[in-house]
Each structure stands twice: as C-alpha cells, then as structure tokens.
Chain A
Amino acid sequence: MRTGAEYREALRDGRVVYVMGEGRIDDVTMHPATKAVVEEYVAWHDRHHDPDWAETLLRRDGVPWAFTVPQGTSDLLGMGRSYAKTCFLSAGNITHDPAYGHLIAMGIKNAVAIHNAGSEHSERAEAYRAMIAKGERFLTFSSGSAPIGYRMRPDPATRAAVKLVRETDKGIVVSGRVGMHTSPCYAEDIYVGALCGLQVQGHPASFVVEVAAKGITVLCRKIAPRDPNPFLAPLSNRFDELDGQLWLDEVLIPWEHVFFTDVNLEPVARWLMWHHLYGWGARAEFSLGVALAVSDAMGLKENDATIEYLIDLTASVQTIRACQLAAAHEPEPTIIGYAAPNHAHVMAGGVTLFKTRQQISEILRIVPGSSLVVAPSDSDLATPSLAAGLEEAFAGGGYTAAQRAALLQLAWDHASSGLDGRESAFELHASGGMPSWRGRLRQSFADYNNLANAVLKQIDCDMPTIDLGNIPARAMAPRRVNAPPLVPGAGDKK
C-alpha cells in the first residue's frame, strides 16, 4: 500500500480543477481551498503504516480491512470497525476515502455480474477491483445523473448527462456533464453510473474515468464558509470534502474501464449504504462526545435535564450501533459470493438516523447553554484589555477560559457552521435521502406475506390467502422529473 506522500504526489497529475469562487486550482496539494483535505487523505494512507492503528485497520495477514473482500460476519465486523474508527477522526465529515472506493469497485463487479453481459465483462470488473485493492488509486462515485441544465432541455433526447461520441478499438469517446458527487478533486478515478444515459452495444453502460484524463474538468462547489482560525473552526478548516461536477469533453474511456450494468444503481451501491451509515453514525457519536464533554465543562453532568438530553443522544447512537451489528451478524450473500451487510438492518438504522439528525444538532446547541453563542476566540483571550475579564467570565471548575472556549467553538463548528449545513444538505440527497432509504427498507423487508397471513389465523373463518409480493417488488420511487417549460407557441390554438 502506498504512503501518504505517494498519494499526494499522484495528485500532481495535471488535473483541471476549479473551485467555485476560487477559480482554477493549479495544484490541489498546495491551494488553501483544498490542501487541508489532501492532508487528511495523506494521513488516511499513512495511518495504515502506523503500528498503533494496525489492530484496527489491518487484518492479521496484514491486508487492510479497507481492501478486504468480505466473506462473512467476521470480515464485515472488521471492516465496519475500521470505518467507524476512521470516520470518527473527521467527526463524520470525510465520508469518501479509498476504503469507500473499494466498496464501489465491489459494487461494480456485483452490478456487472447481475447484468450478465458476458464473462469478459465480469473479468474486466474483477481486474479493476483487484487494482483498486492494491491501494494505489482512490476511486469516488457519481451516479451519472445530469445537472439541471441538461434536464431542462426541450428535447428529451438531449437530457442525458453523457453522450457517446464514437467507439474505437481502444474504447469509447464520450462528452457531457455529470451532476453532484463527492471528492472528485481528491480522487484519481471516478465511477460514472448508468444514470448517465450511455448505451454501448445495446447495453446501459457505466464507466470509470481518470480525473486527470485529457478532456476532464472537475468543477467543485464553493468551500464551506469558515473562519481561517483553527481555534474557531477546528473541523471546517480540515474536513471539507468538496462535492463537484464533472465535465467531459471527448474523453477516451478504455474498454477495460467500461462496465455494462443495469440502469438501476442499487447493485453498485450494495455496500455503500452501509458505509454511509457508518459516516452518519460517526457524526452522531461525535455529537454525543461533544455533548458529554460540554456537560462536564459546563458543570452540568449532574443536572437531571442535561442527562435526559444526553440519554436522547445515547439512544440514537446506540440504535445505530445495534442496527450495524445486526447487519454484520446476519449477512446476505451476493451473486459474486461476497457477504453483504443485511440491508433491512442497515435501512432501519438509516431511517432512524434521518429522523433524529436535526434533534441531535439541536440538543448539541441546547446542552452548552448560551455560552455557546458568546464564547470568545483565542485572539480575544489574548487581547490585554479583555484577557482578565474573559478569564473571569469563562474560567473555573477545572477549565481555563481558553479550554472552555475551545470546546464551545468545537461544538459550534460541529453543529452550527457552514460545514454542518453542507453535511446536512448533502446527505439529504447523496444516497437518495429518506425516500430512497425507505424504499430500500420496503424492498429488503422479507416478511410481508408471513405476517399478513399469520394474523388471519386469529380469525375463526376461512380467509383468502394474501399475496403482497407487489410491495417489495415495486421499483424505488422514480427520480424527480424536472418539467422543462413548454416551448413558446407549441400547442397554442390558432
């Protein structure tokens, strides 16, 4: 597995990256808008060489859990533990990393096998997964859906994100623009899913494109507004994984990176929801950690009302933990022989967390009291005319004013900052939001007919046998369709 320095060096590959509001980024490893997150990914790689982390991140045979192909419960538990521990290090803000990339690659292999276009396609997908498993490339994920401008085009035939320009003996040449996905400026490869609308040789096609490939432009969103002072913004200064769009201008995709799959993305995302829930779980655990620390720092750990708030948070965290454990202990087989976490348990956890997210943030704003709002910064504490007064106002109970203020600023940055707002907005869409998680639960719940017919046994008369197979069989709710304005004049009566 490569070192962090090797990863950093790999990003200097001539990629064309823009950050909205910042212009063109010549070198993502150096630019203030991107450098901090690059260093987080550098640390991710180096952590795998750190003996203190070996027990958490490596199997007994030395293979990182990040690149393990799960065969059963013990593998899923090991992988899950490594995700939980690493996601916590960014307070759940860095959700896309090379481990996630390997889960994408597993999903590609799964989706290709399900589509079943031929053995050479399965071999191609496995070759790509095996390459990712060497830990030499960071892959991220795009569903392939089009940005809003494409979806508003008058001609439905032009609303797809990507169009095939031509086929060659080396691959396909494509052009287009692909909507929101995460960390493209830090990744080396991007998987573009079959929602891109591409058809090749009669098959829906997805593909992997190199970020540095000729004809690629990465357009990242504006950075989350943040104070430049790490004392005031200990999280948002470091953990803003930028989301972005991808523009493709006659980009050659070699055949070995073209994957025929169904348009349905669920087989690709088979392991991704599980990772998402670990990310959300890490964020919830971080919120609980901050609330606990603040209850100590504010002298509230004996306060009954505060403890009830803490138990509210604990119940949410513990429910997610239980769902994740259950998912690993009752794995499901896949067509490619890999163990997958039980979707029904994962979905139950996700739906629970979707319901409690805002309450978790609000509790973290409640527990510290109004000191959260008026806490000073380190520069205020260093101002001679203020120092004594601020020390008097904020010190005491085993904490200096600087310590207490630093903790309050951490809480603020976690639950009231632009980074917090971005995380919430992103997760409401990234994996389909609540509607999709509910849809996946609907599809994965297995006992419709069992339960419906079981209750009929309480009735003392013959009853028709019930068949509710349609409920799980229903497709996920279709993506929202944007209605382009009518063409002026079209349909007018003359």
Chain B
Amino acid sequence: MRTGAEYKTALQDGRKVVVMGGGEIEDVTTHPATASMVEQYVAWYDRHRDPDWAETLVSPSGTPWAFILPRTVDEVVAAGRAISKTIFLSAGNITHTPHYGHLIAMGVLVAAETRNAGPQHAKNAEVYRREIVRDQRFVTFCGGAAIIGQRLQPNPADRVSVKIVRETDKGMIVKGRLGMHTSPAYAEEVYVGHLTGLRIDGHPVGFIVPVGAPGVTTLCRRQATRESSPFMAPLSSRYDELDGQMWLDDVFVPWERVFAVDPAPEAIPRWLRWHHLYGWLAKAEFTLGLCLALSDAMGLKEHDATIEYLVDAIAEVQTVRSCITAAEHDPEYTPTGYCVPNHAHLAAGGISLFKARQRLSELLRIIPGSSLVVAPGDSDLAIPELAEGLEESFSGGGYSARQRAALLQLAWDHVSSALDGRESAFELHASGGLPGWRHWLRRSFKDYNELANAVLGFVPVDMPAVDVTGIGTAMPAARRAVTPPRK
C-alpha cells in the first residue's frame, strides 16, 4: 500500500492551482489553505497500514477494500463498512477519497462495457482501473458540464465546456473550462464525463486528465470561512475539501485515457451514489452523535422533550442505515458480474435524507439551548479576568468549562459554520440534488406495471391492461437551460 508520504510527494508535481481569494498555490502540501486537507489524505493512506484499522480497511487477500472490484454481497458489505468508518472521521465532510476514485474507475469500466463501442474501450478502462489499484492514485470526478459563461455564449455551438483542438495518432488535444467538481487540488487525476458533449466515432466519451499535466489549471473555490483556532473550528479547519473548476489549454489526452461510455444516468455513478449516501449518513450520524453527547453535557439525557428530539434524529439515521443494508444485501449485478448496491433502495434512502437534512441541523441547534450561541472560546477561558466567571458559568455536572465549551463549539462548527453551509450547497447539486435522486428512484423502481395491473383485479369489470412502463424508462429531465440575453 502506498504511504501517505508517497502521496504527499506525488502532489509536488508542478500542478498549477489557484484558490480564489488566496492566489496561486505553489505547493498544496504546505500552503495554509490546503495543507490540512492534504494531511487528511495522508492519514487516509497511512490508516491502511495501521494494524488497528486492518480489519475494517483491508480484505483477507491483503488488498484494501478501497481497491476491490466487488463480485459478491460480502465484498460490497465490507467495502461499505470501510467507507462508513472512514467518512465518519471527517464528520461526513471529506467525501472524495482514493476509494471514491476507484469507484469512479469501476463505473468507467462498466460504462465502457455497456456502450460496447469496441473492445479497446473496455480494455483501456480495465487497464486504467488496474493501474489505479496498483498505484493507488487518487482520481476525482467531474461531470464535464460547462460553466455559466460558456452556457451564455451567443452561439449555441460555443456552449460546451471542452472542444477538441486536434486529434493525433496518440491522442486528442483539448481545450476548455470545466464546471464544479471536488478535491481537484488534492487529486492526481480527474475523470471528465460525457457532459462535455465530446464524441469520438459517434460515441459520447469521457477522459482522464492528470492534474499536473501541462496546460491544466485548477481553480478552487475560496476556502470556507473559519476561525483560525482549532478549538473554535475543529472541523472546518481540517475538512474543507475544496471544490473547483478546471481549465484546459491545449491539453494532450492519450487515446488509452479516452473511453466511449454509456450516457445513461446510472452508468458511471452506479457505485458513486452508494458512496454519496454513506457520506450523508456519516454527517447525519455525526449530528446524532453530537446531539447525544450534548444531551449528556447539558444534563438533558433524562429530559423527555430532548429524548423525543433524539428519537427524531435516530429515526432519520436508522432509515438510511436500513436502506443501505437493503441495497447491499439485495444487490444488482452488471452484465459482467460486478456486484452493485441496489439503486432503488439507495434512492429511497437518499430521498429520505434530503427531506431530513435541514431538520437534523435544526435539532442540533435546539438541543444545546442558547449555550450553543454564547459558549466561550479557549482564548476567553484563558483571560484571567474572565476565567473564574466562565468556569462558574460553564462548568459542572462532570464537565469543566473548557470541555463543555469545546463540545458546544464542535456542534456550532458542524451545523452553523460556513463549512456546513458549503456542504449543504454542494450536496444540493453534486449528484443531481433531490430531483436527481427522485429520478433515479423513478428509473430503478421495478414494479410499475405489476402494481397497476394487480389492483385491477379488484374491479368487478374487465379492464384493459395498464402499461405505464414509460414512467420508469424516462431519461432525466434536461439540465436547466440558461437563456442567453438577446442581442
């Protein structure tokens, strides 16, 4: 297994990274805007060598679950457990990891197999996936959609993110600008999906771009506003995986990194939504964990109304756990035999969580009471003229003022910080938002005709057979079209 140090060295590859508001980053491993996240990824790699984590992260063959292509329920369950345990460590904020990257590569493989545009595409995809397993490089995902400025171009032909500058016998040279995706500053490669509109031999294609390749500029969003003190910002000072855009200026992409893929909405993300749901669940579980810890710290664990709030949060967490368990135990299989968590169950869990997200945040703001708002920082506790009064105000019941304040600040950082706001805004778009998940449920639910015709048996009249197949086979609603101003 690759070490964290090897990963860190790999990031010193001459990449061109700009963080909005922070300027160009010479070295992401040392710059204050990015160094703490790099260390989280370093820890991700090193955790695989930690004997305490071996049972959770490493398969009996010695290959990390992160790099197993699952063929059985047991493998899916074990990989899911590894995802769950590692995402919780960042309170659900670090959702893109090398494990996620391998899921992308798995999706590319199956999408290439499904498109069946020629044996070289599936072969190239499998070779690429094996390279990822071998080198454990970190890949992230970009849908390939254009940025707003491109979409507002007067000429419809210019409203695409990427254009082919020229093709050679070794590959294609592309130019353009790609919209939101996550962790490009920390990844080594980005998969760019078919929403670019690029087609090769009549087939929609995706391709891989190394972040450090000549001509690539990564433009990350501004970092989430945060307190500089880790006491005040224990999460946001560490777990801000930066989203970004990517600019391509005559970038060469070799043919073996260009894949003709199935454009169906299930194709590439067939394992990714599973990972997304684990991420959201980790955030929900962390929220519940904080609610529970605060009910203890605030002396409310015997308080009836508080317990009812806790049960509200538990019901949301448990429902998603149930959906994931069902998805893993009742899987689907790709034509070539890979085991995929059942999308119908996942979609039900995702919709349930989309509905509950704001409520969960509110519960965590309610349970601590107004102490959440007025809790002191560690620097306040250290001011001599305040220390005694703050100790009197915030200690007691087995907690020092510092302990209770630290927990309250953790809760605040989790659900009232800019990191929380970013997470919410991101997830409302990242995998299609609630409309996208509803649509995936629509496509993955199997019993439309069976149920519709079954109820007709209760009608005392011969009835025409119902065919509502169209509901389940509809393609996703078109992406929102922006209207360029008239000249």
Contact = CB atoms under 8 A, between A and B. Distances in A.
B118 interface: no
B74 to A, nearest CB: 12
B407 A459 contact: yes
Contact of B293 (A231, A295, A407, A455): A455
Q: Interface size for chain A: under 10, 10 to 19, 20 to 34, or 35 or more residues? A: 35 or more
Given A285-B451, A459-B234, A468-B296, A344 B318 contact: yes
B286 interface: yes
A470 B286 contact: no
Given A351-B315, A403-B461, A403-B462, A455 B290 contact: yes
A318 B307 contact: no
Nearest to B352: A319
Given A311-B438, A325-B330, A460-B234, A289 B292 contact: no
A446 to B, nearest CB: 10
Interface stretch (A94-102, A302-310, A423-431): A302-310
Interface string A135-146: 000000000000
A474 interface: yes
> Quick one: which of B311, B322, B345, B399 has the most chain A CB within 10 A?
B322
> Quick one: which of B315, B441, B445 has the most chain A CB within 10 A?
B315
Given A293-B466, A330-B325, A468-B301, A406 B461 contact: yes
A463 B410 CA distance: 13
A405 to B, nearest CB: 8
A452 B322 contact: no
Contact of A289 (B234, B352, B455): B455
A399 B463 CA distance: 8
B471 interface: yes
Interface residues of B, number: 74
B453 A322 contact: no
Interface string A393-426: 0000011001100110110000000000000000
Interface in A261-308: 285-286, 288-290, 292-293, 295-297, 301-302, 307-308
A315 B352 contact: yes
B462 A327 contact: no
Contacts of A302: 470
A403 B463 contact: yes
Given A302-B470, A352-B352, A319 B311 contact: no
Contacts of B307: 442, 471, 474
Contacts of A43: none
A447 B84 CA distance: 14
Interface of B: 88, 91, 230-231, 234-235, 285-286, 288-290, 292-293, 295-297, 301-302, 307-308, 310-311, 314-315, 318-319, 321-323, 325-327, 329-330, 344-345, 347-349, 351-352, 398-399, 402-403, 406-407, 410, 438, 441-442, 445, 447-449, 451-456, 458-464, 466-468, 470-471, 474
Contacts of A409: 459
Contacts of A407: 456, 459, 463
Contacts of B467: 296
A349 interface: yes
Interface in A440-494: 441-442, 445, 447-448, 451-456, 458-464, 466-468, 470-471, 474
A372 to B, nearest CB: 14
A55 to B, nearest CB: 16
A127 interface: no
